[in-house]
């Protein structure tokens, strides 16, 4: 994303010079600097930002809310909604500055952005971030804010049914600042991973592997739900989950096509790749389940669709439609195996499969991006990928990206959780857990 936009700036500057040269003879002294703002790009990016917000509320909230038991529906929705509001404010106060503005110290800038735009002090009416050179900085900041919201909110799938709301809110805030912001800066904000050539179009590693890894650590630290494996924990209303997954699918066009940070060829191809991979993954999960468990479940179809969305996320602006099809078909089967078999074999209680779908799908997508990226689709990476253009070095960059995100996220997430556990405790009492979070934590129930 970063290099692509920088290149665009360069092209825009060249075009500007040409115009200047042509008009220089007539009136070169009177020329005011041309406003770089593109209204089409701006309109699309405001739309994209709203679409990505819709992914979290209500999309993710309903997707997760339908899968929990009836006593915990509102608590699950409260997590999505609460995270959205808290992260919006934190992003305004500090998050945007340390993720997407440069650090004055070039060495430090490899690791973390600057503190120069706290409270968005540098975001003015007509300021522009070079990472989004044709749109107002306010819009770029808003677009990135919606990514910062959904990433921590995804973790809620692993901690469902048993975490204190107070501990959850602390976790969201601290995780945003100590895990998401640095990693976003590493890959997209000018840090070391982006410089090392890692390809992550819309967040396969930054968003999904990152949230999935945190989810895995969280469910291991929290422990299993009371009655896991013996009590019936079947989803209370899959209609909500189908609506949620469908809203995620629609909103994802803001996520992937919006990551072009412009409205042009790249956004169009990213949107097409997203649609193709998602449908392919839903089918491959469905057929895998049909063959193995004998019935094609709707929960399987929507889970496959989300797996496809996740896996195409890092690849969406780099692959052609055939690459998208292969990535989607692979993601549906691999995530089915991870959510259904691996979880059972290893025995962790990743309640709603945040690791099994987002972590595994994100890592898979990141690696497959290195295989199927095509130089002809996105000229920012002229060497392309391994299987398409014979550039094996890209695989190394992708593995480095996946490994770095996994290790950093796992370690820091573990520390954050342990600190919160020591100070206020992570988990509700067994009595509250059995009776339900809705009535005990929020004083409400879904049906009176």
**Rule CB under 8 A: is residue 161 a binding residue for other proteins?**
no
**Rule CB under 8 A: is residue 295 a binding residue for other proteins?**
yes
**Rule CB under 8 A: is residue 293 a binding residue for other proteins?**
yes
What are the CA-CA distances from residue 144 to residues 92, 151, 210, 360 (Å)? 11, 11, 16, 23
d(CA 133, CA 137): 8
* Closest residue by Cα to residue 100 from 120, 126, 85: 120
Beta bridge partners of 251: none
Min separation Cβ 304 and other proteins, Å? 11
Terminal Cα-to-Cα distance of the chain (whole angstroms)? 48
Residue list 202-241, contact with other proteins (CB under 8 A): 232-235
Stretch that binds other proteins, among 100-108, 156-164, 299-307, 381-389 (CB under 8 A): 299-307
Which is nearer to other proteins, 68 or 279 (by Cβ)? Answer: 68
d(CA 54, CA 61): 10
Min separation Cβ 293 and other proteins, Å? 5
Site string for other proteins, 251-290 (x = CB under 8 A): ----------------------------------------
Stretch that binds other proteins, among 81-89, 121-129, 340-348, 396-404 (CB under 8 A): 340-348
Which is nearer to other proteins, 110 or 237 (by Cβ)? Answer: 237
Which is nearer to other proteins, 333 or 410 (by Cβ)? Answer: 333
d(CA 29, CA 208): 51
Which is nearer to other proteins, 38 or 338 (by Cβ)? Answer: 338
Stretch that binds other proteins, among 108-116, 161-169, 339-347, 394-402 (CB under 8 A): 339-347
Min separation Cβ 239 and other proteins, Å? 14
Residue list 76-135, contact with other proteins (CB under 8 A): none
* Closest residue by Cα to residue 99 from 72, 129, 125: 129
d(CA 421, CA 415): 10
Which is nearer to other proteins, 66 or 328 (by Cβ)? Answer: 66
Which is nearer to other proteins, 203 or 332 (by Cβ)? Answer: 332
Which is nearer to other proteins, 72 or 144 (by Cβ)? Answer: 72
**Rule CB under 8 A: is residue 442 a binding residue for other proteins?**
no
* Closest residue by Cα to residue 194 from 381, 14, 440: 381
Min separation Cβ 116 and other proteins, Å? 46
d(CA 114, CA 101): 6
Region for 391 from its dihedrals, namely left if φ exceeds 0, alpha if ψ lies in -120 to 50, beta otherwise: beta
**Rule CB under 8 A: is residue 341 a binding residue for other proteins?**
yes
Min separation Cβ 196 and other proteins, Å? 36
Residue list 349-368, contact with other proteins (CB under 8 A): 353
Length of the chain measured in residues: 448
Min separation Cβ 301 and other proteins, Å? 12
* Residue 226 CB neighbours (<10 A): 12
* Residue 375 CB neighbours (<10 A): 16
Exactly one of 42, 129, 218, 303 binds other proteins (CB under 8 A); which one?
303
Which is nearer to other proteins, 37 or 299 (by Cβ)? Answer: 299
DSSP 176-191: IIIIIHHHHHHHTSS-
Q: What are phi and psi of 161, to 5 degrees?
A: 80, 0
Which is nearer to other proteins, 299 or 395 (by Cβ)? Answer: 299
What is the size of the binding site for other proteins (CB under 8 A)? 16
Min separation Cβ 280 and other proteins, Å? 19
| CB contact set of 320 (below 8 Å; sequence gap of 6+) | 269, 273, 374, 376, 377
Query: Helices (DSSP H) in 70-164: which residue ranges?
Result: 73-90, 96-100, 137-154, 156-159
Which is nearer to other proteins, 191 or 300 (by Cβ)? Answer: 300
Angle at Cα 279 formed by Cα 242 and Cα 212, nearest 5°?
Answer: 65
**Rule CB under 8 A: is residue 299 a binding residue for other proteins?**
yes
Instruction: For residue 343, count CB atoms less than 10 angstroms from its CB and return exposed for 0-12, middle for 13-18, buried for 19 or more.
Output: middle
Instruction: For residue 251, count CB atoms less than 10 angstroms from its CB and return exposed for 0-12, middle for 13-18, buried for 19 or more.
Output: buried
**Rule CB under 8 A: is residue 291 a binding residue for other proteins?**
no
Min separation Cβ 150 and other proteins, Å? 21
Which is nearer to other proteins, 157 or 436 (by Cβ)? Answer: 157
Which is nearer to other proteins, 51 or 215 (by Cβ)? Answer: 215
Residues that bind other proteins (CB under 8 A): 232-235, 293, 295, 297, 299-300, 303, 339-341, 343-344, 353
């Amino acid at each position: 994303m970063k290099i692509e936009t920088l290149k665009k700036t360069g092209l825009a500057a060249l075009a500007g010079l040409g115009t200047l040269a042509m008009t220089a003879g007539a009136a070169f002294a009177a020329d005011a600097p041309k406003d770089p703002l593109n209204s089409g790009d701006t309109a699309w990016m405001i739309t994209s930002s709203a679409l990505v917000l819709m992914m979290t509320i209500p999309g993710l909230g309903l997707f997760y809310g339908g899968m929990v038991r009836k006593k915990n529906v509102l608590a699950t929705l409260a997590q999505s909604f609460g995270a959205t509001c808290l992260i919006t404010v934190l992003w305004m106060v500090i998050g945007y500055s340390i993720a997407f503005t440069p650090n004055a110290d070039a060495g430090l800038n490899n690791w973390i952005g600057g503190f120069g735009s706290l409270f968005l002090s540098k975001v003015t009416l007509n300021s522009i971030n070079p990472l989004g050179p044709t749109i107002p900085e306010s819009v770029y900041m808003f677009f990135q804010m919606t990514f910062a919201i959904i990433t921590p909110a995804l973790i809620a799938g692993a901690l469902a049914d048993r975490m204190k709301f107070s501990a959850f809110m602390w976790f969201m805030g601290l995780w945003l600042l100590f895990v998401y912001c640095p990693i976003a800066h590493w890959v997209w904000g000018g840090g070391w991973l982006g410089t090392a050539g890692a390809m992550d179009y819309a967040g396969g590693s930054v968003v999904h592997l990152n949230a999935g890894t945190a989810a895995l650590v969280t469910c291991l630290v929290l422990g299993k739900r009371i009655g896991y494996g013996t009590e019936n924990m079947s989803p209370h209303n899959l209609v909500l989950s189908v609506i949620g997954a469908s809203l995620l699918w629609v909103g994802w066009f803001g996520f992937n096509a919006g990551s072009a940070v412009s409205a042009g060829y790249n956004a169009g191809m990213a949107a097409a790749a997203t649609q193709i991979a998602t449908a392919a993954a839903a089918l491959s999960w469905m057929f895998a389940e049909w063959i193995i468990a004998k019935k094609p479940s709707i929960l399987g179809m929507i889970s496959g669709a989300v797996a496809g969305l996740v896996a195409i996320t890092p690849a969406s602006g780099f692959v052609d439609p055939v690459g998208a099809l292969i990535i989607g078909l692979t993601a549906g089967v691999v995530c089915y195996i991870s959510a259904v078999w691996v979880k059972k074999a290893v025995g962790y209680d990743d309640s709603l499969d945040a690791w099994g779908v987002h972590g595994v799908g994100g890592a898979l997508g990141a690696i497959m991006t290195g295989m199927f990226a095509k130089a002809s689709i996105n000229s920012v990476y002229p060497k392309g990928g391994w299987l398409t253009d014979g550039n094996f070095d890209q695989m190394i960059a992708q593995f480095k990206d996946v490994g770095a995100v996994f290790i950093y996220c796992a370690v820091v997430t573990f520390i954050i959780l342990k600190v919160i556990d020591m100070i206020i405790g992570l988990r509700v009492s067994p009595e509250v857990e059995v009776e339900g979070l809705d009535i005990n934590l929020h004083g409400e129930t879904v049906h009176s």
